[in-house]
């Protein structure tokens, strides 16, 4: 990797972007990429050699979306802690999902 090279990385948001290498730490601890977007340029730094481990960690994450059956359970649930353990998600995410469903007009 050299300054000026194009590098593809997956950002924390899960989006893969291509940036230009603008800085490499002298001891190669990290590098900085510059990205171009419609509002201008921005820079972000990444640790050297950590891309593979980040991707491995992401594949082990709990699913983000909810099934229609889970939505019904969330709307009907009286004990959110028990349901969160059963589904494998956080209690906060269930409360947020319930709120979104109610705003959309869903009924248990």
- Domain with 95 in it: 68-104
What is the pLDDT confidence band of residue 51, given thresholds at 50, 70 and 90?
A: low
**Overall number of domains in the chain:** 2
The alpha carbon dihedral of 6, 47, 50, 42 has a sign of: negative
Could you tell me the end-to-end alpha-carbon distance of the chain, in angstroms, rounded to an integer? 55
Distance between CA atoms of 77 and 21, rounded to whole angstroms?
A: 50
Residue 1 included in any domain: no
What is the rounded average pLDDT of the residues 39-44?
90
What is the pLDDT confidence band of residue 52, given thresholds at 50, 70 and 90?
A: very low
What is the rounded average pLDDT of the residues 70-90?
90
DSSP code for 105: T
Residue 53 included in any domain: yes
What is the rounded average pLDDT of the residues 14-33?
90
Sheet of 30-37: strand order equals: 6-10, 16-24, 30-37, 40-47
Q: Which of 22, 48, 47 is nearest to 33 (CA)?
A: 22
Rounded to two decimals, what is the model's pTM? 0.45
What is the pLDDT confidence band of residue 76, given thresholds at 50, 70 and 90?
A: very high
């Amino acid at each position: 990797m050299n300054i000026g090279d194009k590098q593809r990385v997956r950002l924390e948001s899960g989006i893969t972007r291509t940036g230009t290498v603008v800085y490499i730490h002298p001891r190669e601890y990290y590098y900085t990429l510059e990205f171009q977007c419609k509002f201008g340029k921005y820079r972000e730094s990444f640790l050297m050699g950590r891309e593979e481990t980040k991707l491995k960690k992401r594949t082990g994450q709990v699913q983000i979306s909810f099934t229609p059956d889970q939505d019904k359970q969330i709307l009907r649930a009286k004990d959110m802690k028990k349901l969160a353990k059963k589904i494998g998600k956080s209690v906060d995410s269930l409360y947020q999902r319930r709120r979104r469903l109610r705003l959309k007009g869903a009924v248990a």
